[in-house]
Amino acid sequence: MSARKILVTNALPYANGPIHMGHLLGYIQADIWVRAMRAMGHDVIYVCADDAHGTAIMLRAEANGITPEQQIANVQQEHERDFAGFGISFDHYDSTHSTTNKARSEYIYLKNRQAGHIAVRPVHQLFDPEKQMFLSDRFIKGTCPKCKADDQYGDSCEVCGTTYNATELLNPHSTLSGATPVEKSSDHYFFKLPNFTEYLQKWTRDQGRLPVSIANKLDEWFEAGLADWDISRDAPYFGFEIPDAPNKYFYVWVDAPIGYMSSFENYIQTKRPELNFDDYWKKDSSHEIYHFIGKDIVYFHALFWPAMLAGAGYRTPTGLFVNGFLTVNGQKMSKSRGTFIKAETYLQHLNPEYLRYYFASKLSDKVEDSDLNLDDFIQKVNSDLVGKVVNIASRCAKFINTKFDHQLSAQCAEAELVKSFIDAGDSIASAYEDREFSAAIREIMSLADKANQYIDEKKPWALAKQEGTEQQVHEVCSVGINLFRQLVIYLSPVLPKLANEVQAFLQLEKFDFASRKTILLNHEIAQFQPLMQRVDKKAVDAMVEASKDSLAAPVAVPVKAAKKKEKAVEKPTSTIESDVISIDDVLKVDLRVAQVLDANIVEGSDKLLQLTLDAGEAEPRNVFSGIRSQYSPEDLKGKLVVLVANLAPRKMRFGISNGMVLCAGNDERLSIISPESGAKPGDKVS
């Protein structure tokens, strides 16, 4: 079979912050698939780029006192460093802020405009008169029009859950300047997505194009009716200006996916001039294009993106491979728990191939969330990679090196056993191609068990102590090395660094899947060196602790920029630089008496109780408190407590917690702090 021509891309990371564990799940999945397809002999090109446009980046650069161009260049350098650290094998890594992407974006827009797929009409928005810019919902705050909660964003209330238009907020203000916004009209440009309804309904149902669960979900959009898509933003905006529309810019989601094309185009121009762009992107091309993306951006990739491409006369992706989210220790990644782990922090403490292997052992072709359980992570890596795979080489190589002058035996004493390992490669390769990585890992580890069972039965270390058994020891250890070689070839897409080291140790020119079919006979190997160390729990603990420290560090920004960073970047968990605080810090805390109106067990949590509190306000407050081990719901009803009333609402998977109940003690014993008798809900505590 001739080699397939395949172009693979990953979702473009936003050039506004660091790569973290949640990001890496999708990039490692794509990289394993790319390496596996290459190992099978296919011609795979793998490109990516930083998503470098938008208001958030413009404001982040302003807060940092640099230009947007400097901002995205700095972040791109960090992204490329972190991806390289985890062995992500991009052929080319680009930026959407390139002349190539600008030209390709303009071309696609103009082709769609010529085809009648662009409309222009006025839009009423809130405008910041001080910053002289239109405000998106996240840069507007005010009072919820329903529950009257203060400090709510312009699209929904985090207290009562109501959604609304920003113009409905009471007492709105701009988070960028503090000014009261005014309503203003501006012409916006729209992509007529409904023009493609019939096309997209068929496209999303084409065999293999999308996971069935995703196609089913998209049916909800078709049933509701597709709407025109606003593809423009007003100046000031960091991005590409729309042709023939001064001071109007492409919304970031227009030029971001076009970055797949421009990154590939720049790859051709700089590294592979013999390739032809149109061979991959022309309509009806036989080459394959796959996008690896997270489930949160399916809407853009399965509706807007193919519609834009079709409207401009280009081919569409062969398939979208969709991954779920990552949890750590069964919970959403947490800064306070130290489980919101940056790629850079991980690399300072642990071997990146540990994580690649652990993710591979979890991943399938299903759109499912994955959990990084740190205890399981330690056990699995130590048991599988160190205890099973690398252990085979360490048990056999020392005899080959010391007793047989580094030379494997001239004949295979267990040809059928070795052949069974070779034959297993077909199903393992098929599992990789289908992105059933966990199935591939299970089969590889089953082979590892058989290899270790063989060595345990033959006991070369015991044979070596007996007279006249040299040949037998030689043959047993040579079989062991051959089995080890098969295992590492199969693991090479997951563990490329280990594979390179083993290839050098075995002194082999090729290490692809086809090379496994020749048994190594009378073959010289190099001196064995330790290949992989056990995961040290102390290193994992240190990584978690370092994540707490790095994410709690204060971010120095200009005073006016401090508010606007709230949604543009990850917020620090604390602005206090040490254990020492000032009286001003204390006075910021608003402590109020509250009465527990109701208390309930939170299903799915062994620590939380859900409290309904009367704090002397118009509406009761909902607060989640980790006191279930000390109090039953019945103990709390009617009880007076002290509430931190000005704590920002916190989104939890069970709902929104609007405050904190004060307790004293430690994890073993917590006691609620109660006010003096005679206090009433709403009283201030000083």
Using an 8 Å Cβ cutoff, are 259 and 49 in contact? yes
Q: List, for the chain, all residue ranges whose pLDDT scores fall below the cut of 50.
A: 549-581, 667
Query: pLDDT at position 556, please?
Result: 29
Query: What is the helix (H) or strand (E) element at residue 196, kind and residue range?
Result: none
Nearest partner of 658 among 581, 570, 588, 590, judged by Cα: 590
Give the whole-angstrom CA distance, residue 214 versus residue 335: 30
Confidence at residue 669, expressed as pLDDT on a 0 to 100 scale:
59
Binding-site members for ATP are 335
3-class SS string, 362-380: HCCCCCCCEEECHHHHHHH
Number of domains in the chain: 3
- Domain region containing 29: 5-110+251-325
| 255 & 359 share domain | no
Provide the pLDDT for residue 335.
84
Query: Which helix (H) or strand (E) element contains residue 75?
Result: helix 68-85
Cite the DSSP H helix spans in 381-536: 391-403, 415-423, 425-433, 437-458, 460-463, 470-491, 496-506
For residue 515, what pLDDT is reported? 97
358 and 504 in a common domain: yes
50 — phi, psi (to 5°)? -80, 135
Omega before residue 211 within 30° of 0, cis: no
Is residue 212, in this structure, part of any structural domain at all?
A: no
Residues of each annotated binding site for Zn(2+):
144, 147, 157, 160
In a domain, 399, yes or no: yes
Q: Is 332 helix (H, G, I), strand (E, B) or coil?
A: strand
CA gap 207, 191 in Å, rounded:
27
State the binding site: 144, 147, 157, 160, 335
> Is 637 inside a domain boundary?
yes
Q: Give pLDDT tens digits for 137-157.
A: 888 999 999 999 999 988 888
CATH of the domain at 299: 3.40.50.620
Is residue 480 domain-shared with residue 381, that is, in the same domain? yes
What pLDDT does 584 receive?
Answer: 57
Q: Considering the domain boundaries, does residue 295 fall inside one? A: yes
Q: Clarify whether residues 648 and 505 are in a common domain.
A: no
Q: Are residues 320 and 362 in the same domain?
A: no
Please tell me the predicted confidence (pLDDT) of residue 88. Answer: 98
Q: Which strands, in side-by-side order, build the sheet including 331-332?
A: 331-332, 326-328, 370-372
